[in-house]
Structure 1
Amino acid sequence: MSTTIAILSALPQEQGSLVHALQNPEKIIHAGRTFWRGTLHGHQVVIALSGIGKVAAATTATVLAEKFGATRIVFTGVAGGIGANVKVGDVVVARDYLQHDMDASPIVERWLVPGYPQIRMACDAALTEQLLAATRETVERDSHQIDWASLGMEAQHRPQVHAGLIVSGDRFVSTAQESDSLRLALESAGHAVLAVEMEGAAVAQVCADFGIAFAAVRTISDRADDGAHLDFLQFVETVASRYADHVVNAFLKSV
């Protein structure tokens, strides 16, 4: 029985040229979104944009599950780095997620989604290891070809690949004070966070509901601080789009 792998991103630039690479592409519009179904590296895939935010991401993931029968979902995009050793240009592969703006206390403890057993929702272990290997391969090869100086960084910048906790919330974290406060609150509760974005935890929750394997990779576009709004668009165009193409292609070749 054939299986479908869904490739999901929030923004077009985070998707690279994956749609153009599809064989036998079919355009399907549903729930206000455009889905592209076709074949890539021998796999039946569906490529979609979720839009920004947790609700938009959850809607898209639900459509991928119910209408397209996705058995695996991979999210590729950008994030703000808030872990102490996570720098602009690094790449983070998620091992698990939590919603940093979820707070139903005192009914349940902070960050726990009511009705779920744990605060952190795990990504699929096997899929994550495959995505991690593809990411390491891509970063090792591609980082030497990027003009880091044009982004205001050291010309010889060598990005690192991290794996661990990413958090999501319906807010673009864009000040050093907010970033530090979020990191300290999480770390004090035992959650060593690497990056923050606005969609992944919602997709993780939907995948848990439907029993779908989920993995996610995020390129660090900024430090989620006072310079975030200045760095974001240029970085997505220059670096994240390239990584999206190459990581996903390497991943699909390996599974």
Structure 2
Amino acid sequence: MKIAIIVPMAEEAEFYGSHFQSADKKMFGSTEFEHFSVNRNDIYLGLSGIGKVNAAMNLTNLLANENIDLIFMTGSAGSLKSSIHKKDLILPSQFTYHDAHNTSAGNYVEGQIPQEPARYELNSPAREKFIQFLEKNKISYQEGLIVTGDSFISSQNQKDEIKKNFPDAVGVEMEGAAFAQVAYHFNTPLVALRAISDNGDESADEDFDTFVREVGKKAANVITSYLEDELL
């Protein structure tokens, strides 16, 4: 299999580089991907950059040039639920855009890009297999809707506005729906794993730098264990 692992920030990717032995590096468009071999699977690790355009552009560069069988998207997110705390793992089941407001443009719902699905569903056999791994190893996680936008959410007012439009959302970040949109159009399964780095309120600025490496490592440790132990 050919598997992509794509993360927004270097701080979230550094654990993979120290864990796997890189065979070489390849440029796809403007993005450099490290190439690893794990259990006879080709792994491509790359940084998407931050935000929706960077995420879509850099994943598209890879998928247009390599016949990728599975995408792992990982990194951090802010919590939108009081029951979800810092360092918790979230396995998104859906993505949509919290900053897409197109209900007056036609028969669209909040978060929907015109002529696109209302939400990007991540149902796939690959995701089910990953869930089986998490449960077999007693790795705690929560599922639900993650919403994406081009703003770092760091105030209660921002958070309340998102929760008003998306009361079922469990987390917020800046790339996931763009990854999901690209994966949808390439018909490639996407497994997303986000770790909570902050609460999406006024404490987010001080929390983020402290927790992003720690939660990025937590998510990376789960994925590398899966690739080494299960994906034969």
Question: Post-superposition shift, 1:30?
Answer: 3.2
Kindly indicate whether the alpha-carbon contact (under 8 Å) linking 2:35 and 2:42 is maintained by their aligned counterparts in 1.
Answer: yes
* Correspondence for 1:186 among 137, 162, 166: 166
Match for 1:86 among 84, 87, 91?
Answer: 84
In structure 2, what is the equivalent of residue 169 of structure 1? 149
Stretches of structure 1 lacking an aligned partner (at least 5 in a row): 141-159
SS of equivalent residue, structure 1 residue 17: helix
Shift of the 134–242 alpha-carbon distance from structure 1 to 2, 3 Å rule, reads: farther
Amino acid at match of 1:73: I
| Structure 1 residue 32 corresponds to structure 2 residue 22 | no
1:232 alignment partner in structure 2: 208
User: What is the distance in 2 between the residues matched to 1:167 and 1:58?
Assistant: 15
1:16-61, CA deviations, whole angstroms, 9 ceiling, x for partnerless residues? 4212443451111232221111202331110000000000000111
- Preserved CA contact (<8 Å) 1:16 1:244: no
1:41-56 to structure 2, matched below 5 A, reads: 41-56=39-54
Of the three residues 222, 228, 232, the one matched with 1:247 is 222
**Superposed CA RMSD:** 1.9
Which residue number corresponds to residue 77 of structure 1? Answer: 75
Q: Does 1:19 align with 2:17?
A: yes
SS of residue paired to 2:127: helix
Aligned residue pairs total 228
2:118 corresponding residue in structure 1: 119
SS of alignment partner, residue 63 of structure 1: helix
Residue-by-residue CA offset, 1:89-118 (whole Å, 9 max, x unaligned):
2110011100111122312323212112x3
Q: For the Cα contact (< 8 Å) 2:6–2:71, is it kept in 1?
A: yes
Provide the rounded CA distance (Å) in 2 between the counterparts of 1:63 and 1:40: 22
The C-alpha deviation readout for 1:149-179, integer Å capped at 9, x for no partner, is xxxxxxxxxxx52011111111101101111
> Percent of counterpart pairs with the same letter?
28
CA distance in 2, matches of 1:43, 1:19: 16
Q: Following TM superposition, where does structure 1 have runs of at least 4 consecutive aligned residues deviating by more than 2 angstroms?
A: 19-24, 29-32, 124-140
Aligned partner letter, 1:115 = Q
Report if the CA contact (8 A) 1:23-1:40 is conserved.
no
Q: Deviations over 1:200-249 (max 9, x none)?
A: 10010001101000110000000100000000111112x22321331111
3-state DSSP of counterpart to 1:166 = strand
Q: CA deviation at 1:135?
A: 4.6
Out of 55, 59, 68, the position equivalent to 2:66 is: 68
Partner of 2:187: 211
What is residue 131 of structure 1 aligned with on the other side?
A: 130
* Unmatched segments (≥5 aa) in structure 2: none
Q: Secondary structure at the match of 1:106?
A: helix
